[in-house]
Structure 1
Amino acid sequence: MVYRLVIDPAQQQNEQIHLTSQQQHYLSRVLRLREGDRFVAMDGRGKSWIARLVGMSAQIIEPLSESTELPIAVTLMTALPKGNGFEEIVRCCTELGTTAFMPTISDRTLLNPSTNKLERWRKIATEAAEQSERQIVPVVLDPIDFAKALIEVDDLETDRYICVTRIEANHLLTHLREKPPKNNLVIATGPEGGWTEAEVKGAIAAGFAPVSLGRRILRAITAPIVAVSVVAASVEQPITNQ
């Protein structure tokens, strides 16, 4: 097994990677790598290399050509659930291929996240990207009011969907089959108790199409994971044996 490590792009200079003390500790103490052992270094923006541990730095051996990203960029606009639920959303949806997380404060949101929460979410995204062998680390944006979030995406050229319950709407998969997304996709999922009627109307006015995730009522943590799973299954090319 080859371990992966996300680095800041500035750490890579010529054929060397200058490791931080924290990264040195992780590689040598946690992963038990020794002098000369190999690992994959990735800059979180699409570039990765096979590297060899040399003292307190690493030497690049060769660039690594991989293709594990989804063919489209997926932004997940999620009303923050209570407790630590968003941590699970970030972890699972990073593994599934989400490009960016836009945590939102809806009318029924109970969580008031601190700066420490945001830092933890970003750390989880990094760890999940390493674990799932992705080339990029998803962006976790600062929490924003839902009404402002609608304005933020209004200028983007992207397909937009809001997941709803107890409202007549076609399944997300039906929409994706009828109108395959080309480059970008935004999906909004609600809080415990669902979106308010006013929020749904506001999203529709902002160009969001209401969609269903099935006949059952999903938890606020489950819904975004299901939504991204549906997107990934719809847009990703199947792996065939050569």
Structure 2
Amino acid sequence: MVEPNQVVANQLRLSSSQQHYLYRVLRLGAGQQFVALDGLGQQWLATLTAVPDQAAIAPLPVSATATQAPITLAIALPKGSGFDDVVRQTTELGVSTIQPVISDRTLHQPNPKKLERWQRIALEATEQSERLLLPKILPPLPWRDYLQQTTEGQRWICVARGDAPHLLAAAQVGDPLVPAAIAIGPEGGWTAAEVEAAIAAEFQPVSLGPYILRAVTAPLAALTLVSAARALNYSLANSKDI
């Protein structure tokens, strides 16, 4: 991952830490190549040169997935360090924004230092998965404060019990070009008052299936379902235009 100001014309200026990683950890040398990403949607094929802090670059094409509408996960903070895994794995799966929320059943108040840790985990996962876009990890918000400021066009709140439609079915009839938000509850689920507040904020209650998923598993399932439905809808829409 590189900063945009490191790119000058067709050259990439490498920081000391990047040089260490490329030359010492990966054991690359002059003439060898790697993919450089800026986290904002650009990628380049970079070739190391005889000058240690420089690499020659050529732009690479942007895939269709990078242009699809963003998906926000609003996740009630789970206990322990489980949120670290949620950040890492949802980044690999393509989440655009992660909004940690403090629900009525959140057991622990988040440590302010955790945000920096989550952002670092997201950066590492973005590099590992060669994603073009670095997801945003926002500071935690109380649930009702989040509801007052959300702007996504499609909004779903996952509930564990009841007769809510399946998230996959809801996503399949949605527009893949409209930003979406998916809300995932804590251990024990949302309270009735929290669900009512979400409905008032135009969130549609949905189900993830007949089984009770752990608080760290549900975000992965939800994101996978919506991403798959959107990719299929996007593909079908494009095939009709051919």
Q: Same fold (TM over 0.5)?
A: yes
Q: What displacement does 1:150 show?
A: 0.7
1:69 aligns to what SS in structure 2?
Answer: helix
- CA–CA separation in structure 2 for the residues paired with 1:61 and 1:38: 9
Between Structure 1 and Structure 2, the one with more helix by share is: 2
- CA–CA separation in structure 2 for the residues paired with 1:25 and 1:128: 19
Assess if the C-alpha contact under 8 Å between 1:159 and 1:181 holds in 2.
no
Q: For residue 234 of structure 1, what is the aligned residue in structure 2?
A: 229
Are 2:21 and 1:26 aligned?
yes
Assess if the C-alpha contact under 8 Å between 1:70 and 1:235 holds in 2.
no
Structure 2: runs of 5 or more not aligned: 236-242
Match of residue 135, structure 1, among 129, 132, 137: 132
After alignment, is 158-167 or 218-227 more displaced? Answer: 158-167
- CA–CA separation in structure 1 for the residues paired with 2:189 and 2:67: 28
Deviation string 1:74-106 (CA, Å, 9 cap, x unpaired) is 000000111111111111111111111111111
Structure 1: runs of 5 or more not aligned: 1-5
- CA–CA separation in structure 1 for the residues paired with 2:194 and 2:225: 23
- CA–CA separation in structure 2 for the residues paired with 1:95 and 1:58: 29
- CA–CA separation in structure 2 for the residues paired with 1:16 and 1:149: 42
| Alignment length (residue pairs) | 232
Q: What are the residue-to-residue correspondences of 1:1-242 with 2, within 5 Å? A: 6-54=1-49, 55-67=51-63, 68-69=65-66, 71-153=68-150, 156-237=151-232
2:87 aligns to what SS in structure 1?
Answer: helix
- CA–CA separation in structure 2 for the residues paired with 1:65 and 1:118: 32
Q: Determine what percentage of the aligned residue pairs are the same residue.
A: 49
- CA–CA separation in structure 1 for the residues paired with 2:56 and 2:108: 43
Cα gap change, 1:87 to 1:70, in 2 (>3 Å): farther
CA RMSD of aligned residues (A): 1.8
Assess if the C-alpha contact under 8 Å between 2:176 and 2:231 holds in 1.
no
How high is the TM-score relative to the length of structure 2?
0.90
Counterpart amino acid of residue 195 in structure 1: W
Counterpart amino acid of residue 65 in structure 1: P
